[in-house]
Amino acid sequence: MKINDAVSGVILLLLSLAVLFSISAYPKIPGQNVGPAAFPAMVALLLAACAIGLIWRGVRAKGQWLVPGPWLKSGPHVRNFLLTNLCLVFYILVSDKLGFIPSAALVLAVMFWTLRVRPAFILPLSVGVTLLIHLIFYKGLRVPLPWGVLLPWQW
């Protein structure tokens, strides 16, 4: 699917404005010129500049706003697209109660099964990849991932 650059630019511009609006509530640090909003503001302003460039380029192109791609006529491609989005929604809805490890392992197992990974590899791969991702984020990057039902076995 081909989307006109102006459409993408408007979406990115709205995103940058939302970031700028949200960081306006960040507290100032007394005695410092640079506060917690400095880096997000810089990134948001750069994103806004790029978005304006995309909008300018898209309006000048005068092409179609949306051109459907050939993958939209392919059943497996549409199925995979919808399944990926459903898995993301599932994770968002249940990860706090179920926890990261069971949710991510289930999502990966469903996606591996849909993509026709050999059945003998689905369970070890989904559990192994989930544990690796958990290790990287929870231990290495110190990102607090939800434990959910595994809270009694937290490590």
Helix and strand numbers (H, E) in the chain are 5, 2
> Would the pLDDT of 155 be above 80?
no
Question: 125-152 pLDDT, tens per residue?
Answer: 999 999 999 999 988 888 889 999 988 8
State the Cα–Cα distance between residues 65 and 58, nearest whole angstrom: 9
Strand-pairing partners, residue 67, are 2
Q: Does residue 61 come out as left (phi exceeding 0), alpha (psi in the -120 to 50 range) or beta?
A: alpha
> Would the pLDDT of 30 be above 90?
no
Q: Which residues of 73-99 are buried (b: 16+ CB within 10 A; e: fewer)?
A: eeeeeeeeeebeeebeeeeeebbeebb
